[in-house]
């Protein structure tokens, strides 16, 4: 299984609309990438650092799962513009991306 992780750093003064991501943005992603191999998408909301009094390093982390890395690259080559173009509707944070193979 291939996992695309999208990290949104917790930057002071910047916001993230989790409600928009989990409804409107995820619906857009699923409609575009589902036919190209997307298995599922999920969102994590950061709540704290290792010390419960510290803020989380990331305000949000999204995960998109595919069966193959070829599916990932083909899907994003076809639809990255639309997906990236929607980011400004829920945050001004510049996301960081990682593509991984899950081992367990």
6-32 pLDDT tens trace: 999 999 999 999 999 999 999 999 999
Radius of gyration from C-alpha coordinates of the chain: 14
Domain ranges of the chain: 2-101
Q: In this predicted model, what pLDDT tens digit does every residue of 44-98 receive, in sequence order?
A: 999 999 999 999 999 999 999 999 999 999 999 999 999 999 999 999 999 999 9
Topology of the domain comprising 2-101: Alpha-Beta Plaits (3.30.70)
Q: What is the dihedral of CA 29, 2, 57, 92, to 10 degrees?
A: -30
Are 44 and 22 in contact, with CB atoms under 8 Å apart?
A: no
pLDDT band at 37, cuts 50/70/90?
A: very high
| The model's pTM | 0.94
Spatial distance between the Cα atoms of 97 and 28, rounded to a whole number of angstroms: 18
Query: For position 19, what pLDDT does the model report?
Result: 97
* H helix intervals, 11-68: 18-20, 26-33
Query: For position 64, what pLDDT does the model report?
Result: 98
Query: For position 99, what pLDDT does the model report?
Result: 98
């Amino acid at each position: 299984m291939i996992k695309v992780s999208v990290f949104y750093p917790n930057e002071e003064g910047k916001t993230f609309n989790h409600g928009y991501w989990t409804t409107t943005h995820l619906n857009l992603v699923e409609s575009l990438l589902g036919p190209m191999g997307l298995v599922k998408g999920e969102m994590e909301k950061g709540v704290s650092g290792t010390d419960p009094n510290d803020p989380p390093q990331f305000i949000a982390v999204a995960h998109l799962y595919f069966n193959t890395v070829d599916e990932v690259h083909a899907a994003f080559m076809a639809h990255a513009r639309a997906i990236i173009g929607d980011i400004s509707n829920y945050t001004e944070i510049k996301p960081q991306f990682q593509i991984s193979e899950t081992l367990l």
